[in-house]
Structure 1
């Protein structure tokens, strides 16, 4: 069974780059999009690790961007909700991607978890350099996209779920 996560990855990356755009020109926008797409890909592969998970997502749908738009202050009266691609945005994937973009250690753990197992990367060359080791141009292009304070409302939505996925046996110390 083969399932395709590309609509969710594309829509969620687009939501991130529209919500936290690059402050530069065309090259900076492309670099920002590459970082968002890498973070979203890692998050989607973690969230839907098997072909069956991805197939169920195709049947049920990811939920859309309404809550994310509300959390970030997007105004639905501006026609934001009318964009059809927004129905393919996955809130959990966006939240996990935001966590990865703002926490390099967590991003490294997530990519390492993918390397240990997962059906999506089987046989595919995977390289997440822009996510794991952004250079100066990457950091400048994604200044808003990687800003911890700006992404905190999105990252906080499902941060605990990402930690559970990466280490299901962890214990919280109060």
Structure 2
């Protein structure tokens, strides 16, 4: 298939399957990587690609969206606004109140880290633990951690990191853990 003549969606599918991009992403264990659940960046990109007939028009659209994001980032945030962000984006920032959502096994730590740990590699799990620490330490006064009752259609298991927090006593006077 000549990728330059393909529709944008077909080109992305080719890159995903034939060139091994999906496998590459899974091996990277990137934050939020839920390829099999259809909620990842690549799936959203393919949805957007369906709106365009040519790769050229799709790439123009992508460039436009990136420029809009950069423009929004440069605008000062309102001090009383709620900001939704990934843990990675929160590095170096501090907030009066921080909510960590969905602290369950399979999400925090991510399935990739758990699989590596079961195979004898502790490094991905320790990286996830460090990320949880980063998220928690963004809170200056209040930290709330939510644990949903269900995750991926099954009863959720509280993250091992939350269980570890619950066993400690010192800094928890400003932390709430909520089951939802």
Shared fold by TM > 0.5? no
Larger fraction in strand: 2
Query: Greater relative contact order (Cα 8 A, min sep 6): structure 1 or 2?
Result: 1
Larger fraction in helix: 1
Q: Of the two, which has the highest radius of gyration?
A: 2
Report the TM-score when normalising by structure 1.
0.27
Report the TM-score when normalising by structure 2.
0.26
